[in-house]
Amino acid sequence: MSDLFPDDDYYRLRLYIAGQTTKSLAAVSNLKRVCDAYLPGRYEIDVIDLAQNPQLAAGDQILAIPTLVRRLPEPLKRIIGDLSNLEKVLVGLDIRQKSEPP
Amino acid sequence: MPADATTTLALPKSLTGISGFDDITLGGLPTGRPTLVCGSAGCGKTLFATTFLVNGAIHFDEPGVFISFEERAGDLAKNVASLGFDLDNLIAERKLAIDHVHVERAEIEENGEYDLEGLFIRIGFAVDQIGARRVVLDTIETLFSGFTDHGILRAELRRLFGWLKDRGLTTIITGERGEGQLTRQGLEEYVSDCVILLDNRVTEQITTRRLRVVKYRGSAHGTNEYPFLIDHDGITVLPVTSSGRDIRVSSDIVSTGVPDLDRMLRKGGFYRGSSILLSGVAGTGKTTFATHFAHATCSRGERCLYFALEESSGEIIRNAQSVGLDLRQHIDAGLLRFEAARPNLYGLEMHLARMHRDLDRFKPEVVVLDPLSAYRGPDNEVHATLLRMLDLLKARGITGVFTSLTRDEEKRDTSENGMASLMDAWIRLMDVDANGERTRTLYVIKSRGMSHSNQVREYRITDEGIVLNDAYIGPDGVLTGTARLTQEAREKAAALRRQESIERRRREIVRKRETIERQIAELQAAIKAEEDESAMLIAEDNAHEDVLLRDNAARAARRGAAE
């Protein structure tokens, strides 16, 4: 998987969590729900648990947990919080309403 | 540095290694607790924090973590490189870790519940990696511009400070000065153990940095505002008063370097550790006296620190040469050092701070400050500065020689009088002009703890140094210079005349005695002659009698035979 993936429609997402907290678990399930619904087959999610890999926090300038980082498509975007507002997630990730939710 | 303070006090403290600061806090910052260092922009918060970390890493074997919310690690290293801090090297030796936390609001969207666990993890990771004991968060308030939900942020900061405390990390949190409170975001609410306020004030175009310990839970601390200095040697905090410090009192005597002046003092000089004021109008030779003192000090093999505020060291050395004092040899021997600084270069506080540092570094026995009157400012400030300067010297048992320019001989400055009461000894140099001639005189106004001559003495600055003449004191008052010489000539003539008349009388007596003795001799001769005469007559008479008797007998015999 290259960083220079040409397709604007392909989403590379990273979700930073710290341990299996309520907020973290909520963020993971909320994100999966949105992606499955709106980006079927054109997304990948790395869930990074900083409790296990603390050295990865500095690289993406992570402060808040959970933090979702959209690596692709450019530009880089961050959303912090448990992603409980699905509408805002769509807007925040710039997901075009190509297909209606099932 | 009170290294033992940490052990003697109940509250453990961590030395910052910042000169002076550890004194006023009696041992440094509270170990294992957060300290808030606040102040407006450019007042040295970051430098203070960096110094704390670097000293910890180098001198106290306590590695440190610098979490920078503003500057990148590279910039930080560059900024402090001028102070001789090699951050890159410390990082390589795993004594220091820097993490730059960058917060860009435009990139962040908030959606639902979150916390700052990520920051905790980053700090924790950096700390664990090098086994850090010290942490700096500079400036954590930047977070307030990065997150909209300040409720969460405040709760998280409170948790963070608690967490740092639980981990026993000695932490400095810097904060920007806010309106009506110490920090913009009221961080002082969360950090309650120790709060230090840095300040940067400009009065009359001169900047003075000041530091104050606002609070220090569980510990005594100096409460004043202390001036501090940032220069190529880092931060120096100047303790304002030497409270609680014993002043070393000495009964040793140090020479003034002018033998004649020494003789005016009962003990042959001034007490070691005393403060001596030389005041006088322009051109009375204040600096010359001061250089004599310096020369005498160095000739004894002691160190002398000379603060030259108006002249350069070169000028002073040359001028001293002209009165036969070779100061160069003392400089070469490392006994004499000049510190030249224009008085308006810094504020009074800065001068004091510099002096403080120089004293601790050079450790002189004698300090010359030439001239004191170069310090301008409100009287009370000058007075306060001077008081602390004297404290500084006294606490170290250093003899201080201060020159002071008197602006008007008649109306003596109030400042001079104010200064003079603080001084142990005071020599006033004067200009006397009379008969179209100017002469220099001096007298000892006071010399605490010893009697001294009350005479006004004339002095001359010669090729061989300062020489004092006995001033003429007669029915017409004190005469100096040519007037003195004239009077002395007059006296000499009178004395000569008196001498002559005595001689004359003596000769007359001798003559009289000779006359009388001659008369006596004549009379004795006369009586002798008379005695001789009468003895001759008596002898003649006796002879005549004998002849008569003999004739009578012969006549009788002849008569008898014929009858």
Domain membership of residue B457 (yes or no) is yes
Predicted confidence at residue B474, as pLDDT, reads: 62
Q: Which of B72, B121, B149 to mutate to test binding with chain A, by most A CBs within 10 Å of its CB?
A: B121
Each residue's pLDDT tens digit, B213-230 = 888 888 888 778 888 888
Residues facing residue B275 across a β-bridge:
B400
Give chain B's mean pLDDT. 84
Mean pLDDT is highest, among B247-251, B347-351, B536-540, for: B536-540
Residue A63 CB coordination number (10 Å):
27
- Residue whose C-alpha is closest to residue B198's, from B26, B36, B349, B43: B43
Nearest by CB: A63 against B103, B111, B113: B103
Predicted confidence at residue B532, as pLDDT, reads: 92
Residue B406 has pLDDT above 90, yes or no: no
Nearest by CB: A18 against B99, B108, B118: B118
Tell me which residue range forms the domain holding B396: 253-470
Identify whether residues B123 and B192 lie together within a single domain: yes
Identify whether residues B228 and B341 lie together within a single domain: no
What secondary structure does DSSP assign to B143-209, as a single string?
Answer: HHHH-S-HHHHHHHHHHHHHHHHHTT-EEEEEEE--SSSSSTT-GGGT--SEEEEEEEEEETTEEEE
Predicted confidence at residue B217, as pLDDT, reads: 86
Q: Which amino acid is at B504?
A: R
- Residue whose C-alpha is closest to residue A31's, from A91, A82, A102, A95: A82
In angstroms, rounded to a whole number, what is the distance separating the alpha carbons of residues B149 and B406? 65
Predicted confidence at residue A14, as pLDDT, reads: 92
- Cα angle, residue B52 at apex, residues B51 and B57 outer, rounded to 5°: 95
Identify whether residues B200 and B287 lie together within a single domain: no
Q: Which residues contact B218 (CB under 8 A, 6 or more apart)?
A: B10, B11, B30, B193
Shortest distance, CA A98 to any CA of chain B (angstroms): 23
Residue B394 has pLDDT above 50, yes or no: yes
Shortest distance, CA A72 to any CA of chain B (angstroms): 14
Residue B267 has pLDDT above 80, yes or no: yes
B378 or B35: which leads in pLDDT: B35
- How large a percentage of chain B has pLDDT more than 90? 29
Mean pLDDT is highest, among A82-91, B55-64, B547-556, for: B55-64
Nearest by CB: A63 against B110, B111, B119: B119
Predicted confidence at residue B526, as pLDDT, reads: 94
Predicted confidence at residue A29, as pLDDT, reads: 92
Q: Which positions in chain B touch A65 (Cβ < 8 Å)? A: 114-118, 121
Query: What Cα–Cα distance (Å) separates residue B249 from each residue in B77, B271, B362, B446?
Result: 46, 9, 21, 18
Shortest distance, CA B61 to any CA of chain A (angstroms): 24
Q: Which positions in chain A touch B127 (Cβ < 8 Å)? A: none
Predicted confidence at residue B473, as pLDDT, reads: 65
- Residue whose C-alpha is closest to residue B226's, from B82, B85, B44, B36: B44
Predicted confidence at residue B31, as pLDDT, reads: 92
Q: Please tell me whether residue B550 adopts helix, strand or coil conformation.
A: helix
Identify whether residues B341 and B259 lie together within a single domain: yes
Each residue's pLDDT tens digit, B437-476 = 788 888 888 888 888 888 888 888 888 888 888 766 666 6
Identify whether residues B163 and B204 lie together within a single domain: yes
Quote the longest CA-to-CA distance of chain A: 39
Identify whether residues B202 and B334 lie together within a single domain: no
Identify whether residues B229 and B272 lie together within a single domain: no
What does the pLDDT average to over B297-306? 92
Phi and psi angles of residue A63, each rounded to the nearest 5 degrees, phi first: -120, -50
What does the pLDDT average to over A68-75? 85
In angstroms, rounded to a whole number, what is the distance separating the alpha carbons of residues B93 and B139? 25
Of B470, B488, B508, the one marking the end of a domain is B470
Domain membership of residue B527 (yes or no) is no
What does the pLDDT average to over B512-524? 94
Which element (helix H / strand E) includes B322?
Answer: helix B313-322
Token code pair at residue B269: 């000089």
In angstroms, rounded to a whole number, what is the distance separating the alpha carbons of residues B428 and B441? 8
Q: Which of A63, A77, A94 to mutate to test binding with chain B, by most B CBs within 10 Å of its CB?
A: A63
Q: Which positions in chain A touch B124 (Cβ < 8 Å)? A: 54
Phi and psi angles of residue B347, each rounded to the nearest 5 degrees, phi first: -75, 175
What does the pLDDT average to over B169-176? 91
Q: Which of A24, A50, A80, A88 to mutate to test binding with chain B, by most B CBs within 10 Å of its CB?
A: A80
CB B385 within 8 A of CB B375: yes
Identify whether residues B281 and B322 lie together within a single domain: yes
Predicted confidence at residue A2, as pLDDT, reads: 44
CB B169 within 8 A of CB B133: yes
Query: What sections of B20-176 are H helices per DSSP?
Result: 21-24, 45-59, 73-81, 87-92, 117-130, 143-146, 150-166
Nearest by CB: A58 against B99, B112, B146: B99
Residue A99 has pLDDT above 70, yes or no: no
Number of structural domains, chain B? 2
Domain membership of residue B526 (yes or no) is no
Residue B449: half-sphere exposure toward Cβ, Cα within 13 Å: 18
Each residue's pLDDT tens digit, A7-52 = 567 889 999 999 888 989 999 999 999 888 888 888 889 999 999 9
> In CATH, what number is assigned to the domain containing residue B332?
3.40.50.300
Whether the complex's predicted ipTM surpasses the cut of 0.90: no
Residue B245 has pLDDT above 70, yes or no: no
Identify whether residues B186 and B308 lie together within a single domain: no
Residue A101 has pLDDT above 60, yes or no: no
Cα–chain center distance at A65: 12
Residue B248 has pLDDT above 70, yes or no: no
Predicted confidence at residue A17, as pLDDT, reads: 92
Quote the longest CA-to-CA distance of chain B: 209
Predicted confidence at residue B384, as pLDDT, reads: 77
Mean pLDDT is highest, among B238-252, B277-291, B401-415, for: B277-291
Of B186, B212, B237, the one marking the end of a domain is B237
In angstroms, rounded to a whole number, what is the distance separating the alpha carbons of residues B67 and B136? 6
* Segment among B28-32, B137-141, B189-193, B326-330 with least mean pLDDT: B189-193
Identify whether residues B343 and B384 lie together within a single domain: yes
CB B172 within 8 A of CB B48: yes
Four-point Cα dihedral A66, A71, A75, A76, nearest 10: 30
- How large a percentage of chain A has pLDDT more than 70? 85
Architecture of domain A11-92 in CATH? 3-Layer(aba) Sandwich (3.40)
Nearest by CB: A82 against B103, B109, B113: B113
pLDDT band at B434 (very low <50, low <70, confident <90, very high): confident
Residues facing residue B110 across a β-bridge:
A80
Q: Residue holding tokens 């003079």?
A: B420
Domain membership of residue B229 (yes or no) is yes
CA distance between the termini of chain B: 157
Identify whether residues B165 and B271 lie together within a single domain: no
* Segment among B108-117, B153-162, B172-181, B404-413 with least mean pLDDT: B404-413
Identify whether residues B271 and B192 lie together within a single domain: no
Residue B480 has pLDDT above 70, yes or no: no
Predicted confidence at residue A102, as pLDDT, reads: 47
* Segment among B37-51, B84-98, B334-348 with least mean pLDDT: B334-348
Cβ neighbourhood burial of B48 (10 Å; 0-12, 13-18, 19+): buried
Buried b (16+ CB within 10 A) or exposed e, B365-400: bbbbbbbbbbbebeeeebbbbbebbbbbbbbbebbb
Predicted confidence at residue B121, as pLDDT, reads: 92
Residue B375 has pLDDT above 70, yes or no: yes
